[in-house]
Amino acid sequence: MIEARDLVKEYRTTERREGLRGAVVDLVAPRRRVRRAIDGIDFAIAAGETVGYIGANGAGKSTTIKILTGILRATSGTVRVDGLDPLRDRSRYVYRIGVVFGQRTQLWWDIAVIEAFRLLARMYGVPDPELRRRIEEFDEVLDLAPLLHTPVRKLSLGQRMRCDLAASLLHRPRIVFLDEPTIGLDVDVKERVRQFVRRVNREHGTTVMLTTHDLRDVEELCDRVLLIDRGKVLFDGPLRDFRRRYARERRVVLDLARAEDQAAAVAGLEGLPVSVECPSAGRLVLRFDPEAVRPADVVARALQGPPLQDLAVQEADLSDVVRDVYRAQGRA
């Protein structure tokens, strides 16, 4: 359904020199730089899959989505989505896909949400009764009814995202690209967004490619993970393999009541299969595999030591995972 072959994208930028003199030199001899944002990416996604396209900031996720949606031209390589070339077959292509960019809205700023939906429906040739039916269906999860008569510019980020998601799926595209759809959202809106995406995938077989740097999105939505870093694919496989290999780390952060207890606290943890780091005075970060030692045992042991001010159990985040992958590949 989605196929990328040896995809490369280079951005050409001009670096500015400082000061007036620099500005003059810039005019005469501009200093150009080439940045390779996508560095030879290959993948194929089948119809009906939900794929998490994940990676740290700057990894190249949005660039890939822009190429796949026909917003940007790749420097080299090929892309086919649903049998079409996103750039060459543009007019047919837009009917097949839906797109949401978490960072900005696709809707018109000054008109009410329902008017935007009506305009989109007309553009895509969705008849009125069908439009009503679809809005009702989306409303069940996204709770759109209270928002329909509000101008887009008056919506909060979470409200806007709910409307943007609905808008991107009004024409029932076969594929939807979601670029950071949960960024900046409250936990309950995130949950609603996830529920909605899951439902669209299950009920209509819509293929979903979603970028995020929130591992929870991936855990809750995706069958498959494509992890990218610095424009290259680091991991491509089922979610369970990804979890087994990389996201197994758990972390307990201890803040001691007295910084001078640090050595005693470290000594108290000896014998557990736990790595201990002291990033700052009075703080201990314990890392371990929750399948090798129970988090409850680690916490119990920590509580037997010197008095604590605070204790937190954390799951690995994406930067930990990326570090682990490099380490496993001997490229750290």
Ligand X SMILES: Nc1ncnc2c1ncn2[C@@H]1O[C@H](COP(=O)(O)OP(=O)(O)O)[C@@H](O)[C@H]1O
**Cβ 62 to Mg ion, closest distance in Å?**
3
Name 26's Cβ contacts closer than 8 Å, sequence gap at least 6: 14, 16, 17
* Residue 98 contacts which entry, ligand X, Mg ion, none (Cβ below 5-8 A, type-dependent): none
**Cβ 106 to ligand X, closest distance in Å?**
17
How distant is the alpha carbon of residue 206 from its chain centre? 18
HSE value, Cβ hemisphere, 13 Å, CA-based, for 8:
11
Nearer to ligand X, 13 or 78 (CB): 13
**Cβ 155 to Mg ion, closest distance in Å?**
22
Q: Which residues of the chain form contacts with ligand X (CB under 6 A)?
A: 11, 13, 35, 37, 55, 57-63
313 class by beta-carbon count within 10 Å (0-12 exposed, 13-18 middle, 19+ buried): middle
Q: Which stretch binds Mg ion (CB under 5 A): 61-69, 189-197, 246-254, 320-328?
A: 61-69
**Cβ 154 to ligand X, closest distance in Å?**
28
Name 28's Cβ contacts closer than 8 Å, sequence gap at least 6: none
- Strands 175-179 and 50-54, by their bridges, are unpaired
Compute how many other C-beta atoms are within 10 angstroms of the C-beta atom of residue 111: 14
Tell me the β-bridge partners of 175: 97, 207
Nearer to ligand X, 105 or 211 (CB): 211
Nearer to Mg ion, 62 or 201 (CB): 62
Nearer to Mg ion, 101 or 246 (CB): 101
Sign of the C-alpha dihedral computed for residues 85, 88, 94 and 98 taken in this order: positive
Applying CB under 5 A, what is the total number of residues that bind Mg ion?
Answer: 2
62 binds Mg ion (CB under 5 A): yes
* Residue 92 contacts which entry, Mg ion, ligand X, none (Cβ below 5-8 A, type-dependent): none
**Cβ 238 to Mg ion, closest distance in Å?**
24
Which parts of this chain interact with Mg ion (CB under 5 A)? 61-62
